Amino acid sequence: MTGLMRGYIRSVDAVNLRIGRIAMYGIFALMGILLYSSVSKTFFLPALWTLEMAQFVMVGYYILGGPYSIQLGSNVRMDLLYGNWSVRRKAWFDLLTVCLLIFYLCVLLYGAISSTAYSLGYWKSEPISYLFGVLTGTEEVGRLEQSSSAWRPYMWPIKVVMIVGFFLMILQCLSEFFKDVLRLKGELA
């Protein structure tokens, strides 16, 4: 069992490390879009797509960088009490909080799946089976949701990014859970 945990930790951490490193460069894409927006509004005809595209890039940057942030332990913590605790006590506390976080992320993932199914034109009550049907080709895509802005981009791509990001965060939280279990067993520093 310990070997399976270690293998899971290695593989999930490696995937989230790579995706997180790539997502870090999203800030440069965001800066480029905002710089173009400023220049076009000052000297040329303002572009309609810049503000909404900047929001989409920021969502991708934030959501896909989340698992990497959890992996590095750079997420926000109340260090008033936690900082003075022993490694064992921290591991017990982290076991409890990571379970709550996994529950919260599962709720967010279900909401993202429902929202994505809606954006693909599905208005019934089984969004998960619908998305699997779309992926396997047994379900048809309906009327695609578009933003209400003047640019009117399709919404499903950013919603798919949210699904991927929440799923990766759940996987990373399970990795952190296994790390805490190994710390309590004394097999991880």
Asked whether the whole model's pTM tops 0.85, one would answer: yes
Residue 75 has pLDDT above 80, yes or no: no
Q: Are 165 and 64 in contact (CB under 8 A)?
A: yes
Quote the DSSP letter at residue 154.
B
Work out the mean pLDDT of the chain and round it to a whole number. 91
Element (H, E) at 46: none
Residue 109 has pLDDT above 80, yes or no: yes
Residue 86 has pLDDT above 70, yes or no: yes
Band (189; pLDDT cuts 50, 70, 90): low
CA distance 109 to 67: 14
Q: Are 127 and 113 in contact (CB under 8 A)?
A: yes
Measured CA angle at 69 (ends 98, 71), to 5 deg:
60
Q: Crossing angle for the helix pair 156-185 and 50-72, nearest 10 degrees?
A: 10
At residue 143, the pLDDT reads 85
Q: How many residues does the chain have?
A: 189
CA distance 139 to 58: 31
Phi, psi of 46 (to 5 degrees): -65, 140
